[in-house]
Structure 1
Amino acid sequence: MLHGITRHLGAGVAATLLIAAALPVAAQQQNIEKLKQMKVSGTDPNIPTVAQDGKDAAQLRENLKRIKMPPGFKIDLYAVVPDARSIAVAPSTNMLFVGTRKTKVWAVTNRTGGATATEVKEFAPSLKFRNPNAVCWTRDGFLIVVESNRVYTFPAAEFFYEGADVAVGEVVAQGALIPPEEESFNHSGRVCRIGPDNKLYITLGQPFNVQPREKLELYTKTGIGGIVRMNQDGTGREVFATGIRNSVGMDFNPKDKTLWFTDNQTDGMGDDIPLGEINRATQAGQFFGYPYIVADTRITENGYDKDTIPADAVNPQVKTDAHAADLGMAFYVGKQFPAAYQNGFFSAQHGSWNRTKPIGARVLFTSLKADGTADKTEVFAEGWLDDETGIYRGRPVDVAIAKDGSLLVSDDYAGAIYRITYSGQ
């Protein structure tokens, strides 16, 4: 954008603008280098906390009275967390780290071991994150944060989160996750997981509604519109899966180690097509159909419907309602819920923005067959969307399994984390 502006300005003014734009980036990198060396950044160590009571929290609890779930389940407000997106349950403490699509990662602490969090505050405020949607943990306690075009690692984040300065490393430097010229505000929220192979997996949404043909080769090569994996130090990067439009949720089945992921589909084709997808990757190198086909629908934009569908295209395991926006997912690894939930996964639907009658804003559950493929998908929790008025009172983004087996649900619209428990009564 600055290059377009500077064409109409004198050289001196243009140079000033470009220097001004570069200053925040340079200052950010200088701060990162300080933190790598365990030096002080000068940021105020007194980090404000987010109020967990008051009328907003009371209204959130009131809204939850509308949520319908199977008998025996109960939902409550766990924490007020502005813009809450991806959830990473800390491995050793009673904490969550929560990503956003803005500039903050939140540290959510439960110091009493009760039913609600006791403190929510910004994590690493001396860093100014850019769309830190993705948060996940390594097996040895490193927190991974993935921005649109950078990957951070934070050793022992759950033990050294109290102050403004934290130890940090760069797994992937700014501008090296995708080519900088492909950066976009669209489809730029990443998700991450550590796989059974101990590698880091990252989804890379392609930024268009339907990518132009001239982008296909580049995107296939770099993994945009797919999933990439790498060693935890950023080496050994490879493209794991392609043919994906925009995945904002994935998890590994703990039983057979296969990778499952959601995929958000093409807009502008009508209310009821194309259907959403939840896919299963059984090995590296698989192609999942996009942009030639989505579920049962051929993509007409840019003439892809005239092409032959690649013979190796993998069909989705689950087809969901069109435009419901399937986002985060997690296999249920707890023991609190009944046996029927022990062999399957929960997934969140954010809700539609481009449908005549809105749909979504709910949590689904998918059971699996003995061979590890999808069996039945059903609505597990709904009521954030008022069917009569079309008004959203919340939009679920991610799901995560707490240590006690309860289900955590993030909501970026209402700014909250919910907790679903089972008592059987």
Structure 2
Amino acid sequence: MKRLMTSLAALSLTAGLAHAQAADVPDNLEKLSNFQSTGATDFTFVEQGGDFADGIKRNLERIKLPQGFRIGLYAVVPDARHMAVGPQGIVTFVGTRKDKVWAVTDRNKDRVADEVKDFAPSLRFTIPNGPCFSKDGFLYIAEQNRVLLFPAAEFFYESGDVAAFNLVKQGELIPVEEESFNHTARVCDIGPDGMIYITLGQPFNVPAPEKRELYDKWGIGGIVRMKTDGTGREVFARGIRNSVGMDIDPETGNVWFTDNQVDGMGDDIPPGEINRATEPGQNFGFPWYGGGSIRTNEYKDEEPPADAVMPVVEMDAHAADLGMMFYTGSMFPEEYRGAIFSAQHGSWNRTTPVGARVMVTTLAEDGTATTKPFAEGWIDENGEYLGRPVDVAQLRDGSILVSDDLVGAIYRIWYQPE
């Protein structure tokens, strides 16, 4: 507690800035930054039982998993996107592409959530897709054009008022004139260097050449990083079309990320990607490459960067690879230790739908990767989506959570051999 209060006191030194920024700060952020009450007491609670939950459970009966694995409904969570499991294991925060962040709590530890309610109800969020935690319990939420910091979120989340601060002020993550409805779901992660990494998708299928200088400067179509006090911002990686999934290899510290590739080139090209960044400053080839080594039509006559980094894994075209994580638990069999679990959201314009599943990628010592489906069956025999997985997260017991923004649910997958 002493360390917590010291951290909060240090953060409160920045509160005076909020007065000068009042015109730029929406809703109650200024009050919360000053540890002042807003009077917020009303939460939105989500019903966890009933016919809707029963229908989800019936659909889960068709999901195929490797032998010994089970899947069940963990929580009903509207528009569930990326997840951040609290370091204390008390609550899981779930982002959306709308205006809510949900707090999901399993109070009796039966591995099914008992309560789902909105987090920080006095704040107005704008596409708060990307929550992430530091190891010492600081919650960060990457929005469309802002990054918020919540010290001790697991401690304060029961209240309508929470300690909240700007890490990146509204309108300063990207230029305001570049705000878009497309490719604007951010994700974040904290690296072993203590910096926060944030993906910034660019809004176009393929951007016009006149946009490239501005995007390179800001890291749009790339990954930026900064210190966790908001200073020292730099562009970490470029040449990324729209990454909505990232994790840091616990063994090497390398940054791995998914990338969604160019549409309109046919059903079977270009491939989706899982990439590895081994150092700052690398370029991953977009917009010269539309996915893998497939050149885009718009830039086919322009020489691509000689040092463009190709993906480690090529996925099915248009499967929409989103959230990913390295498995560090001990519940699953040995073959899954250190593997990458990733969610495929599913194609939106392919003639025959593909994706809507969870993939597992294992990495050999020689650097080669093997990828196969792990959980599938959310596309039925009529080609209709029964769910669209978004993100994968790990609970402290070694089971994994899978979010689904179509159904509005989180599933839990665990290992329980006969």
Q: TM-score range by the shorter chain?
A: over 0.9
Give 2:306's match in structure 1, choosing from 285, 308, 311.
311
- TM-score, normalised to structure 2, is 0.93
**Deviation digits for residues 158-215 of structure 1 (CA, Å, limit 9, x no counterpart):** 1111122111010000000001111101000000000010100000000111011001
Question: Which letter maps to 2:36?
Answer: K
Per-residue CA deviation, residues 143-172 of structure 1 (Å, 9 max, x unaligned), is: 101101000000111111112211101000
Residue 226 of structure 1 aligns with which residue? 222
TM-score of the aligned structures, taking structure 1 as reference length: 0.92
Partner secondary structure for residue 159 of structure 1: helix
- Asked if the contact 1:80/1:417 (under 8 Å) is kept, the reply is yes
Aligned to 1:31: 28
> 95, 104, 110: which one pairs with 2:106?
110
Whichever residue aligns with residue 127 of structure 1, its letter is L
Deviations 1:56-107, CA, capped at 9 Å, x for gaps: 0000000000100110000000000000000100001331000000000000
Q: What pairs up with 1:18-417 in 2 under 5 angstroms?
A: 29=26, 31-43=28-40, 45-293=41-289, 294-301=291-298, 304-371=299-366, 373-386=367-380, 388-417=381-410
2:235 alignment partner, SS class: strand
- Mapped partners of 1:207, 1:143: distance in 2: 26
Distance in 1, Cα, partners of 2:231 & 2:263? 36
Give the aligned residue type for 1:404: D
Distance in structure 2 (CA, Å) of the matches to 1:248 and 1:48: 27
Please give the secondary structure, in 1, of the residue aligned with 2:335: helix
1:408 is aligned with what amino acid? L
User: Counterpart of 1:29 in 2: which secondary structure?
Assistant: coil
CA RMSD of aligned residues (A): 1.2
Using the TM superposition, give the Cα deviation of residue 26 of structure 1 relative to its aligned residue in structure 2, in angstroms. 5.4
Tell me if the contact between 1:67 and 1:384 (Cα under 8 Å) persists in the aligned partners.
yes
Q: Matches of 2:142 and 2:215 in 1, distance apart? A: 19
1:3-61: CA deviation from partner (whole Å, max 9, x where unpaired): xxxxxxxxxxxxxxxxxxxxxx9596352111111112233x13131100000000000
Give the C-alpha shift of residue 384 in structure 1.
0.6
- Contact in 2 for aligned 1:46/1:163 (Cα 8 Å): no
How many angstroms apart in 2 are the aligned matches of 1:375 and 1:355? 26
Q: Deviating runs (4+, > 4 A) in structure 1?
A: 25-28
For the 8 Å contact 1:275–1:322, the answer to whether it is kept is: yes
5+ residue gaps, structure 1: 1-24
Q: Which residue of 1 aligns with 2:3?
A: none
Provide the secondary structure at the position in 1 that maps to 2:393: strand
Distance 1:160 1:233 in 2: 20
2-structure distance, mates of 1:347, 1:214: 34
Distance (Å, rounded) in 2 between the aligned partners of 1:85 and 1:183: 20
1:352 and 1:140 map into 2 onto residues whose CA distance is 37
Are the aligned partners of 2:330 and 2:337 in contact in 1 as well (CA < 8 Å)?
yes
Paired residue type of 2:39: G
Taking the aligned partners of 1:253 and 1:162, their CA distance within structure 2 comes to 32
Q: Which 5+ residue runs of structure 2 have no aligned equivalent? A: 1-21
Distance (Å, rounded) in 1 between the aligned partners of 2:90 and 2:57: 22
CA distance in 1, matches of 2:384, 2:273: 25
Give the partner amino acid of 2:321.
D
Change in 2 beyond 3 A, CA 1:30/1:68: closer
CA distance in 1, matches of 2:392, 2:149: 22
Rounded to whole Å, the distance in 1 between the matches of 2:89 and 2:152 is: 11
Counterpart Cα distance in 1 of 2:348 and 2:324: 20
Partners of 1:210 and 1:142 in 2: CA distance: 36
Shift of 1:374: 4.1
* Contact 1:242 1:288 (C-alpha < 8 Å) held by counterparts: yes
Q: 1:151 to 1:27 in 2, by over 3 A?
A: closer
User: 2:66 is paired with a residue of what secondary structure?
Assistant: coil
Deviations 1:97-133, CA, capped at 9 Å, x for gaps: 0000000000000110102011000000100100000
| 8 A contact 1:94–1:113 mirrored in 2 | no
Q: How many pairs does the alignment contain?
A: 396
1:34 match: secondary structure: helix
SS of the equivalent of 1:62 reads helix
Q: Tell me if structure 2 keeps the 8 A contact 1:192–1:200.
A: yes
Q: Secondary structure at the match of 1:305?
A: coil
Q: Match of 1:418?
A: 411
